[in-house]
Amino acid sequence: MSSPFSLHGRRAVVTGANTGIGQGIAVALAAAGAEVLAMGRSSMADTLARIEAAGGTAREVTADLSPPMAAAEVIGRLWDEVGPLDILVNNAGIIRRADAVDFTEADWDAVMDLNLKSAFFAAQALARHALAAERPAKIINVASLLSFQGGIRVASYTASKSGLAGLTRLLACEWAARGINVNAIAPGYVETNNTEALRKDAERASDILKRIPAGRWARPEDMGGAAVFLASNAADYVNGIVLPVDGGWLAR
Ligand code: NAD
């Protein structure tokens, strides 16, 4: 009997898969059987090696996703040249830190363009092709605890991730009856480049750790199981959720 969590025969695009959460998700999807298209602007060599070592299949797709239509264009090209895409993980994201009174327009635009605008048009591109081909699809957005909370010193990041949660619900409502599931994962505090500055600030790092019921920061691979679930048939009736994978942070 095949497992409802199996991703055999599925093709998955994971953006920003060279490191961190994107890498953790890419490896987990590949281990569940998906062919992974690891998309981003940096070399995917490490991710491809990890997937190969786990017996999975992956290829690298080079793209700078900051221009908001770039991901959409690449998705269209991949669909035509490689074949239908079943899963999209909108993971690539950046953060800029400054007090709100000092926040610059450049730091606002850079974060919103990649984290929100590019993610929307990537989802739209996948949906256009999937709907036209009458194929089901799964879209997973990587949201944040700052989809639920305010945070400090990260105005554009909080705006982008709160926006992404709203967009996840809107797209789920529009596409649920047409075979496209749109959901999000909200990682807690994960040991990646994104949180390097926080982890170097001894006081903030210790305050954060004290509040995590699980008693440790997350590792990128902690996000894999939720991604496999939301990408699989096991989640066929799951639409528009933002699933915290946070060691209990929001339960506190
Ligand atoms: P990371 O910095 O390791 O990963 C970010 C990824 O985005 C990298 O692969 C990077 O190459 C890619 N990227 C950045 N700019 C790009 C561009 N212009 N074009 C293509 N790719 C680009 O950090 P991470 O923590 O793994 O972040 C991954 C996602 O998880 C982000 O959306 C982030 O907001 C989110 N997130 C992280 C945490 C955390 O605690 N680390 C918590 C919640 C959400």
Within a domain: 5: no
- Asked if the model's pLDDT at residue 226 lies above 90, the reply is yes
pLDDT at 160: 99
Q: Which residues contact residue 33 at a Cβ distance below 8 angstroms, ignoring those fewer than 6 apart?
A: 6, 7, 8, 9, 10, 56
What does pLDDT average to over the chain? 97
Within a domain: 101: yes
pLDDT at 138: 99
Within a domain: 251: no
- Asked if the model's pLDDT at residue 243 lies above 90, the reply is yes
CB atoms within 10 A of CB 63: 18
Q: In 3-state terms, the chain is what percent helix, strand and coil (to 5)?
A: 50, 15, 35
Q: What is the best residue among 94, 115, 117, 208 to mutate for testing ligand 1's pocket, by most ligand atoms within 8 Å of CB?
A: 94
Give the Å distance between the CA of 133 and the centre of ligand 1.
Answer: 31
Give the Å distance between the CA of 46 and the centre of ligand 1.
Answer: 16
Tell me, what CATH number does 177's domain have? 3.40.50.720
Within a domain: 249: no
- How does pLDDT run across 166-188, given as a tens digit for each residue? 999 999 999 999 999 999 999 99
Query: Residue with the nearest Cα to atom 23 of ligand 1?
Result: 194
Residues annotated catalytic, as ranges:
157
Separation of alpha carbons 114 and 105, rounded Å: 14
Number of domains, the chain:
1
Separation of alpha carbons 160 and 231, rounded Å: 23
Mean pLDDT of 9-22: 98
pLDDT at 43: 97
Q: Phi and psi at residue 83, in whole multiples of 5°?
A: 130, 175
- Asked if the model's pLDDT at residue 1 lies above 90, the reply is no
- How does pLDDT run across 46-75, given as a tens digit for each residue? 999 999 999 999 999 999 999 999 999 999
- How does pLDDT run across 87-101, given as a tens digit for each residue? 999 999 999 999 999
Q: How confident is the model at residue 2 (pLDDT cuts 50, 70, 90)?
A: confident
Give the Å distance between the CA of 130 and the centre of ligand 1.
Answer: 26
Give the Å distance between the CA of 45 and the centre of ligand 1.
Answer: 17
HSE-up of residue 121 (Cα within 13 Å, Cβ side): 17
Spatial contact of 66 and 113, defined as CB atoms under 8 Å apart = yes
Q: Which residues contact residue 208 at a Cβ distance below 8 angstroms, ignoring those fewer than 6 apart?
A: 189, 198, 217
Spatial contact of 227 and 181, defined as CB atoms under 8 Å apart = no
Question: Can you read off the two tokens belonging to residue 31?
Answer: 């281990």
Question: CB within 6 Å of ligand 1 — which residues?
Answer: 16, 18-22, 40-42, 64-66, 91-94, 114, 142, 144, 187, 189-190, 192-195
Which residue range is the domain that position 185 belongs to? 11-242
Query: Residue with the nearest Cα to atom 11 of ligand 1?
Result: 16
